[in-house]
Amino acid sequence: MNCRRCKSLLSDYLDARLDAARRTDLEVHVADCGACAEELRMMQKLSAALGAEPAAAAPAGLAARLTRGALGAPTAAELPSFLDRWIPVAWPAAAASAVAATLLLLVLGRTGGVPSLVEEDPVAAVASDDADEDDALVILAMEEE
Amino acid sequence: MRAENNGNDLELLASRAISGDQAAFGKLVERTQRVTYPLALRLVGGQAEAEDVLQDAYIRVWQGLSKLRDRGAVLGWICRIVRNVAVDRVRYEQRRPSGGDALIEYIASDDPGPEQAIADAEARCALLDLVDQLKQKHRVVLLLREVDGMSYEEIAAALGCKIGTVESRLHRARKQLADKVKRQMRAQAKESA
């Protein structure tokens, strides 16, 4: 066994996962190789030091708390959906906005609109006038209704 | 720690829980937390964070149990949920103080005397500091094996990977940790010279 092979097996050796033949080969190599012996010694010490650390034991009563928490949690069906949560808030605001926009259109339609600060293209102006007329007709139609 | 989770028992508990048996679900939580608690703790680092992860995970377990197809694989399924919840959490900050000198004394020492730094909190902190520097996938396997004493099979089940992957990650973790300790020892020797 060479050093490279030996080092690749050290972890399995530490956990006693090598078969008898490979374990013997490794031990023979380590007995003659200072570098590998040193590597093994360090791994054993580190393993022992980590093994002395307290294992993660679940705190007392954790399972009961987790169970209660899970059983008491609302299911997806019980939770209000996004729309359910937002429509009660958003609907009045949307309705108010629509009313305000309609009133603004009415006011602008009767006063001739806001004067433009930009010199208007005559063709566009005609189109714009047409549009205004159309809007006025729509608004009138609404009023008649 | 040795998890004693018989797959058949867990399957039975899962089946009873699916049919609405809350006591069976409680037993399922109790039995599986022997694996899921160390897993969550090693993934997120702190006890409070681990408990939060587990609470979220077991809520999903309870609510999703009816969708579990292979009841015999319930432990792996729960562990996968725990991992998914854990990866959404912020990795824990390293709060441990450095104690490099004590670690070097411990590693370099051959005397098993009472002064030996195995019980020295400073050395332990230094060692855990180096462990924290490992990649998460290596660190988690190392801690589950060395500190929590889980078998390769249990680790593979907890992480949802093959035993060969556990072997290779553990090998790399040990090698890298040893290399880090050696580098620290060399740096310390240079400073002293």
From the list A17, A46, A67, the residue facing B177 with the nearest CB is: A46
What is the per-residue pLDDT across B155-179, written as a single tens digit (0 to 9) for each?
Answer: 998 898 999 999 999 999 999 999 9
Say if residue B123's pLDDT is above 60.
yes
Dist. CA A144–CA A138, nearest whole Å: 10
> A36-51, pLDDT tens digit by residue?
999 999 999 899 988 8
The DSSP line for B125-187 is HHHHHHHHTS-HHHHHHHIIIIIT---HHHHHHHHT--HHHHHHHHHHHHHHHHHHHHHHHHH
Residue B121 confidence (pLDDT): 60
Looking at residue A77, its pLDDT comes to 65
- Give CA–CA dist B66/B74, Å, rounded: 11
The answer to whether residue B143 neighbours chain A at the CB level (below 8 Å) is yes
Q: For B79-120, what is each residue's pLDDT tens digit?
A: 989 988 888 775 544 443 344 454 555 445 555 554 554 445
Among candidates B61, B148, B181 on the partner chain, residue whose Cβ is nearest the Cβ of A56: B148
Chain B CB contacts of A14 below 8 Å? 174
User: If pLDDT is split at 50, 70 and 90, which confidence band does A122 have?
Assistant: very low
Residue of chain A nearest B48, judged by CA positions: A59
Cα gap A128→B109, rounded to integer Å: 93
How many residues make up chain A in this entry? 145
| Pairwise CA distance, residues B47 & B40, whole Å | 9
B52 vs A67, A81, B45, B59, CA distance in Å?
A: 13, 24, 12, 11
Q: How far is CA B1 from CA A80, B90, B143, in A?
A: 42, 27, 12
How do residues B14-36 score in pLDDT, each as one tens digit? Answer: 999 999 899 999 999 999 998 89
Best CA proximity match to B144, nearest among B81, B65, B79? B79
Mean pLDDT across the stretch B189-193? Answer: 76
Residue in chain A closest to B20 (alpha carbons) equals A71
Q: Which of B53, B58, B107 is the mutation pick for testing A, counting most A CBs within 10 A?
A: B58
Cα–Cα distance, B106 to B118 (Å, whole number): 7
The first and second tokens of residue B25, run together, are 């679900």
Overall average pLDDT of the B24-50 stretch: 89
Name which of B25, B47, B143 is nearest A67 (Cβ-Cβ): B25
Q: Is B85 on the interface with A (CB under 8 A)?
A: no
Q: pTM of this prediction?
A: 0.65
pLDDT of residue A17: 93
Residues in B 19-78 with any Cβ partner in A closer than 8 A: 22, 25-26, 29-30, 33-34, 37-38, 41-42, 47, 50-51, 54-55, 58-59, 61-63
At residue A128, does pLDDT exceed 50?
no
Report the pLDDT averaged over residues A99-118.
Answer: 68
Choose among A49, A69, A70: nearest Cβ to B127.
Answer: A49
**Tokens 């205004």 identify what position?**
A132
Contact B14/A at CB under 8 A = no
